[in-house]
Amino acid sequence: MITGVAALGMGLAVIGAGLGIGNVGSKAMESIARQPEAVGDIRSNMILMAALVEGAALIAIVMCYLVA
Amino acid sequence: MRKILLTFCCVLSLCFLAFAQGHEGHDHSHDGHSHSTEAHDSHGTHGCFEEGSHEFNPGNTAFHHISDQNVFSIGPWQLPLPCILYAKDSGKWDFFSSGKFHPDGHGVGEFAYNKYVLFEGMVHRVKDAGFPDGHIELGHHMVQEVEVEGEKKVYVCYEGEKYEALYKSTADGGLFGGGVTNFFDFSLTKNVISMFVVFLLLGWMFIRIANMYKKREGQAPKGIQSLIEPVFIFIQDEVAKPFLGHKWEVYLPYLMALFFSILGLNLFGQIPFLGNANVTGNLAFTAVLAIFTFLVVNLSGNKHYWEHTLWMPGVPAWLKLFILTPVEILGLFIKPLTLMLRLFANITAGHMVLVIFVGLIFVFAQGNWGGVLGTSVGSGLLTIFMMSIELLVAFIQAFVFTILTASYIGAATEEAHH
């Protein structure tokens, strides 16, 4: 029972991270299209933001793993 | 360059300690004699073990492939590695080669040595004190994993009796089958050996490049110089300078050491059939890197950093006391924790996905040749696709670790603007 709930929690965390990283990626692509000369700055900031979003999801996933 | 090398050496020695570390555990004495009752109903071809327990489990196989091992498997060969083991109950040290176990193709030892046995490439120790010491022949497939009351345990079959064997406890906190145990493992395992190899290669490479820069001053880069220079300049200009301001030169060696050691280990783990060491996918290793970052960030933090962490100006005292300061203090530890988990999870997930894609062949193609061919081609293509993604991930994760470290250091050393 608790394993199933934990697995569900992992899935929910991944949905959240997917939405977050998808948003970061889409906005970054948009801004690169608007301003191609700023591609270097945008790229490194995009990766930084994606990594921060991922961090929150990772903590949730590890919590789920520890509960299961 | 010398600073980078020095940092490499520090990382190397500390990681080695972390790998070798074990911790105290307590024995469950109540199931210590369970083997004698189970031994009576033993029959079948595998001595004490029941037949039909060889169902393929892709998840299990994946976990076994990503964990550290006491043999180095190159293709079908199992290279023996040195074992340095300490038994808690007898207080005895054992130094021998894991070739003494005579491991078969799956890394299951056919011999026991001083109560130690090899199961899936990992040293286990028999719990029962009645098990004889010395070099003993067990035979083929005499060490197996059996599920007892929902818990998986490793059993050794010797002269028709089952003996429970325990796994070493690791710095993974028992996450991958560690936990309570009766011995410490200080062996040079697969991960340690790969780490030595990669760090020696990197050291050799960087010394060579440094000498080339000295010899060919003012000339265009040549050979391996032209491979590394753009990467080095990229990290220097995109990571160190924007985040660290005018102090970038102080922290550049640390950032470079982090970047190139993570990248080197990631890429080394991606080489197929060469041990596939999962060093950066090991919590002990990433924890050491994260602890280094934690120390560098907090030791170089200036007055403003600590003021804004512990007692920020312009906020009511009750708010600081009950909400902001506790959250900020938690944040100090969550930052390196996420660094540790991010690298570990990304690399481990990559390795696991590869093994599971290959494992699909064994799940879907149960003995018929059409199925074998079809799924082999299918998962072969999937695996090649995943491996190219993993090459990208190897770079991105090394970059992310470095850029986050740089941003944390930058936040800790920034001068006040107000």
Interface test with A, best of B237, B342, B347 (most A CBs within 10 A): B342
The whole domain housing A41 covers 2-67
Cβ(B262)–Cβ(B401) below 8 Å: yes
C-alpha span between B21 and B15 (Å, rounded): 10
Decide if pLDDT at A48 tops 80. Answer: yes
State whether residue B330 sits within 8 Å of chain A by CB: no
Instruction: Give residue B39's pLDDT.
Output: 38
Q: Do A58 and B345 touch (CB under 8 A)?
A: yes
Given B242, B342, B396, which is nearest A58 (Cβ)? B342
Q: What are phi and psi for residue B120, nearest 5 degrees?
A: 50, 45
* Tokens of residue B278, six digits: 């999962």
Q: Check B396 against A61: CB less than 8 A apart.
A: no
Measure the CA angle with vertex B411, ends B405 and B413; round to 5°.
Answer: 100
Residue type, B60: N
Interchain contact, A51 vs B341, CB within 8 Å: no
Residue B393 CA neighbour count, 13 Å, CB half: 21
**Long-range contacts: B33-37, Cβ < 8 Å, 24+?**
B33/B128, B34/B148, B34/B164, B35/B128, B35/B155, B35/B161, B35/B162, B35/B163, B35/B164, B36/B161
Q: Which residue of A has its CA nearest to B239?
A: A44
| 8-state DSSP, A37 | G
Sheet strand arrangement including B183-185: B92-97, B82-87, B183-185
Per the listing, tokens 């497939």 go with B141
By Cβ distance, the residue of B334, B338, B403 closest to A44 is B403
- How many interface pairs between A and B have CB atoms less than 8 angstroms apart? 32
Distance of CA B260 to the CA centre of its chain: 17
Tell me which residue has tokens 């059939």: B273
Chain B, 348 to 407: residues with Cβ < 8 Å from chain A are 396, 399-400, 403-404, 407
Task: Tell me the nearest-neighbour CA distance from A44 into chain B, angstroms.
Answer: 8
A47 at B interface, C-beta within 8 A: yes
- The backbone torsions φ and ψ at residue A19, rounded to the nearest 5 degrees and listed phi first, read -60, -45
Residue A65: pLDDT band by 50, 70, 90 thresholds?
Answer: confident
Partners of B407 on chain A (C-beta within 8 Å) are 48
Q: Alpha-carbon distance B153 to B309, whole Å?
A: 47
CA–CA dist B285, B14 (Å, integer): 9
CA B414 to chain centre: 34
Domain residue extents for chain B = 22-187, 193-413
- Report the candidate in B130, B118, B39 with the shortest Cα–Cα distance to residue B85: B118
Q: Who has greater pLDDT, B251 or A56? A: B251
C-alpha distance from A43 to closest chain B C-alpha (Å): 10
In whole angstroms, what is the distance from residue B260 CA to residue B205 CA? 11
- Inter-chain CB proximity B337 and A48 less than 8 Å: no
Give tens-digit pLDDT for B27-60: 333 333 333 333 333 344 456 776 655 567 777 7
- pLDDT of B169: 59
Give the span between the Cα atoms of B402 and B408, in whole angstroms: 10
Q: DSSP code of A1?
A: -
pLDDT per position in chain B (418 positions), as tens? 555 555 544 444 444 434 333 332 333 333 333 333 333 333 444 567 766 555 677 777 777 778 888 888 887 788 889 988 888 777 888 898 888 888 887 788 888 888 888 888 888 888 887 788 888 888 887 888 777 776 777 888 888 788 888 877 554 444 454 455 677 788 888 999 999 999 999 999 999 999 999 998 888 888 888 999 999 999 999 899 989 988 899 999 999 999 999 999 999 999 888 877 889 988 889 999 999 999 999 999 888 899 888 888 888 888 888 889 999 999 999 999 999 999 998 998 888 888 888 888 887 777 678 888 888 888 889 999 999 999 999 999 999 999 999 999 999 998 877 5
Contact B342 A51 (CB under 8 A): yes
Nearest Cβ partner for B403 among A48, A54, A62: A48
- The amino acid occupying position B141 is H
Number of domains observed in the structure of chain A: 1
pLDDT tens across B347-369, in order? 988 888 888 888 888 877 776 78
- Write the ipTM: 0.82
Taking CA–CA distances from B175, the nearest residue in chain A reads A66
Q: What integer pLDDT is reported at residue B75 of this predicted model?
A: 76
Strand-pair partners of B111: B137
Whole-number pLDDT of residue B329: 93
Backbone angles phi, psi at B106, to 5 degrees: -95, 5
Residues B277, B296, B242, B399, Cα dihedral to 10°:
10
pLDDT bin (cut points 50, 70, 90) of residue A26 is very high
CA–CA distance, B315 with B6 (Å, rounded to integer): 43
A61 CB within 8 Å of a chain B CB? yes
Residue B127, CB-side half-sphere exposure with 13 Å CA sphere: 23
Report chain A residues whose CB lies below 8 A from the CB of B239: 44
Q: Is residue A52 exposed (0-12), middle (13-18) or buried (19+ Cβ within 10 Å)?
A: middle
φ/ψ region of B124 (left if φ > 0, alpha if ψ in -120 to 50, else beta) reads beta
State residue B18's pLDDT score.
40
Residue B234: the pLDDT is 92
- Return d(Cα B385, Cα A57) in angstroms, integer: 25
pLDDT at B55: 65
How much is the pLDDT for A23?
Answer: 96
Chain A residues with beta carbon closer than 8 angstroms to that of B242 = 44
Do B238 and A40 count as a contact with CB atoms less than 8 A apart? yes
Q: What is the CATH number of the domain that holds A7?
A: 1.20.20.10
